[in-house]
Structure 1
Amino acid sequence: MRGAVHGTAPVVLSVLDLATVGAGYTAADALRTSVELARIAETRGYHRMWVAEHHSMPGVASSSPAVILAHLAAHTRRLRLGSGGVMLPNHAPLVIAEQFGTLEALAPGRIDLGLGRAPGTDGATAAALRRTEGLHEGADDFPQQLAELTRFLDDDFPPGHRFARIHAVPGPVQGSAAGGVQSPDRPSIWLLGSSGFSAQLAGALGLPFSFAHHFSGRNTVPALALYRESFRPSEVLDRPYASIGVSALAAEDPEEARRQVKAVALGMLRLRTGRPGLTPSPEEAAAYSFSPMEEEFVGSWTNDVIHGDPQTVRAGLDELAARTGVDEMVITASAHTPAVRLRSYELVADAYGLPKDAGVEGIPQEGAAAR
């Protein structure tokens, strides 16, 4: 619920982790950093931590969100964990229901299932994931896939349906036929997007919605407006609940923040031009000779990242929260150096007066029936 947060943050603060792999580091280093980040998020009072599905990107180690989330669940006690998101067209709905039903059994009441309709990769990789030629059908079939996934999670296919005898286990059906106790929880479903399609669908279904402001900032306000206009109360929510992904990096030395952001921008430039690789070091970025067109890209990308000293970052986050009216900001701190990423979340927490060791009491809730 808005305002129900630690410290003086105007909205709920959460974490989006991309498991970034910097030059000179390994995927194992990145995933160890993810565990440390989860511990920081939990002790400092961040509400949730999400990991995102990416494929065939050497600089991003989060190709298997469910596997990473199981590991993070084993290293935390109360932090909400989830996908931000799973790209549903890449997977059979039953597989996702089983994966996230398992996560819910491992960490009851703590799991979010954030779903996107994009492939999260290039067409060739998507074909390798799906083993089908009809790649264009994935996004178009998203509402149907979502409905099927929801029925698997709730175990409520109608009699006569071709899947009525199939059960996603672990799930609510387990043990019921044998007189066991049904699970009271299932993962909390979110829709994620960078355009109006998922915003409108989330509103129509009464689901929470998260917009990818960190890479589609120009569409943020229109998409959020469409979500709110389309919203219909449901068993999940009685009013809209919106979050945005925000790229923000804080450092004691503003110059260090600028150096790290420029390095990530160079990595993004290479990705966008078909040359994906590890995130370059600040030294490599400083020595790189940018063409005028590349300079324009880097400048535009950097402008969308809130960065600087902690108070500058807080001011930028506050302005964005006021401008968008969101309930929650999911912060991704992209940097080449793991220690810089981790320190950024500590500094943002300090800037907002979040606790040094958050207890169970006071963990913010979205309100209504959403978790």
Structure 2
Amino acid sequence: MTSEDQQTHGTGPGAEAAIRGTARGTAPAPLSILDLATVGSGYTPAEALAATTTLAREAERWGYHRFWVAEHHGMPGVASSSPPVLLAHLGARTTTLRLGSGGVMLPNHAPLTVAEQFGLLEALHPGRIDLGLGRAPGTDPATARALRRGRTDGPDEFPQQLAELTHFLDGDFPAGHPYRGLTAVPKGEGRPPVWLLGSSGFSAQLAGRLGLPFAFAHHFSGANTIPALDLYRSSFRPSAVLSEPYALIGVTAVAADDEPAARRLARSAALAMLRLRRGTPGPIPTPEEAEEYPYSPAEADFVDTWFENVVLGAPGRVADGLEALRKRTGADELMVTSHVHGHEARLRSYGLIAEAYGLTASVAEASA
């Protein structure tokens, strides 16, 4: 059954409201966070997960709209290998923040398993869960094979997997389907909105055809951002979920006291990405390691190119850079990520960005 054969079902009258974010403070668009439970050199995964919990609580207090965690495997610098487990933990320690997967790599999982996990999350934290789905493995080929244990469906079968998952979430397999009598339990009155994630045109076009919200990974595929968003909008068909396109972009943003300090922090993330692309992932290096690393000319070029998609500097400069990016891409929402070494530096970066937009003040005013 192809994606074109499927009807995308919503969660009732509030489906579109659950997707579209709320801009706070002086921000012209909603601001959200993508977190990887960053494990820096010298830190343990337990410390990284505790820092992510603190960040989620602070993000709620500051006024960020949503907080997503990503699925990665075999990467010592990323502790978020299981988004559903981490989201359950974060949901128990926050009260209003939207929480979601950015995303679950669907080819790694049986659709029924994902439907059950996110049905359970929705039951635990009703009205606060987003289900973001990706079609990449989120890891190297060997680890992907170990995860799937003989399953043959992969990225090319993503539309079929998505259709099956959607039917499990909605409980509406058609008559004659082999799964007609199966139910994903627990299943409440509502269910999490489904988002498609991507770094190319495939998921952009599929999200458009199905009338789903789309999240693009600008932070590691900046050259494809505008073409993919254009394709999403031109392919869009109104659905029970959305009457008009809704796209967010993930963007690396690092705020510090000034531009040199922010760039120094960001170089840790740049070296971590270089090592990942080279097939030798590890914990996020310290700024000192990044400064002392002997870059070859090709590696220096890679880092320079990576920095082209980073917004960094003093808080006001970061806010200006994010707004310029929003205008250039037409994104409806910005999801910032600061995958840098040091939990304090990471927390402060997000706090400075919130401060630059007056998010904290707007939250205080709303609760007064």
TM-score surpassing 0.5? yes
| Counterpart in the other structure of 1:351 | 356
| Counterpart in the other structure of 2:231 | 226
Corresponding residue to 1:312 among 313, 317, 320: 317
Aligned residue pairs, count: 349
Q: How far apart are the structure 2 equivalents of 1:227 and 1:254?
A: 34
Amino acid at match of 2:184: A
| Structure 1 residue 41, shift from structure 2 partner | 1.1
* Partner SS state of residue 363, structure 2: coil
| Counterpart in the other structure of 1:162 | 178
Q: How far apart are the structure 2 equivalents of 1:164 and 1:8?
A: 49
Residue 144 (1) aligns with residue 160 (2): yes
CA contact (8 A) 1:10 1:321 kept: no
CA contact (8 A) 2:39 2:48 kept: yes
| Counterpart in the other structure of 1:283 | 288
Amino acid at match of 1:149: L
| Counterpart in the other structure of 1:111 | 129
Corresponding residue to 1:189 among 182, 187, 194: 194
| Structure 1 residue 255, shift from structure 2 partner | 2.2
| Structure 1 residue 357, shift from structure 2 partner | 7.3
Amino acid at match of 1:73: G
| Counterpart in the other structure of 2:265 | 260
CA distance 1:82–1:278, shift in 2 (3 Å): same
| Structure 1 residue 356, shift from structure 2 partner | 4.4
Amino acid at match of 2:201: G
Residue 123 (1) aligns with residue 141 (2): yes
CA contact (8 A) 2:21 2:65 kept: no
Q: How far apart are the structure 2 equivalents of 1:301 and 1:313?
A: 17
| Counterpart in the other structure of 1:86 | 104
Mapping 1:1-371, distance limit 5 Å = 4-132=22-150, 134=152, 137-171=153-187, 183-356=188-361, 358=363
Q: How far apart are the structure 1 equivalents of 2:289 and 2:261?
A: 14
> Could you list the per-position Cα deviations for residues 136-178 of structure 1 after superposition, in whole angstroms to 9, with x for gaps in the alignment?
x41111111000000000111123321112111111xxxxxxx
| Structure 1 residue 7, shift from structure 2 partner | 1.1
Amino acid at match of 2:167: R
Select between 202-211 and 263-272 the one with higher mean Cα deviation.
Answer: 263-272
| Structure 1 residue 340, shift from structure 2 partner | 0.7
Q: How far apart are the structure 2 equivalents of 1:100 and 1:184?
A: 13
CA contact (8 A) 1:258 1:308 kept: yes
Amino acid at match of 1:216: S
Q: How far apart are the structure 2 equivalents of 1:75 and 1:206?
A: 32
* Partner SS state of residue 56, structure 1: coil
Amino acid at match of 1:327: D
CA contact (8 A) 1:98 1:169 kept: yes
Identity %: 64
Q: How far apart are the structure 1 equivalents of 2:21 and 2:111?
A: 35
| Counterpart in the other structure of 1:178 | none
RMSD of aligned C-alpha atoms?
Answer: 1.6
* Partner SS state of residue 77, structure 1: coil
CA contact (8 A) 1:209 1:242 kept: yes
Amino acid at match of 1:97: A
TM-score w.r.t. the length of structure 1 is 0.91
CA contact (8 A) 1:45 1:354 kept: yes
> Could you list the per-position Cα deviations for residues 69-108 of structure 1 after superposition, in whole angstroms to 9, with x for gaps in the alignment?
0000000001000000000000000000000000000000
Q: Which segments of structure 1 move beyond 4 Å, counting only runs of 4 or more?
A: 1-4, 359-362
| Counterpart in the other structure of 1:368 | none
* Partner SS state of residue 306, structure 2: helix
CA distance 1:3–1:264, shift in 2 (3 Å): closer
| Structure 1 residue 44, shift from structure 2 partner | 1.1
TM-score w.r.t. the length of structure 2 is 0.92
CA distance 1:95–1:360, shift in 2 (3 Å): farther
| Counterpart in the other structure of 1:365 | none
Q: Which has a greater percent of helix? A: 2
| Structure 1 residue 256, shift from structure 2 partner | 2.1
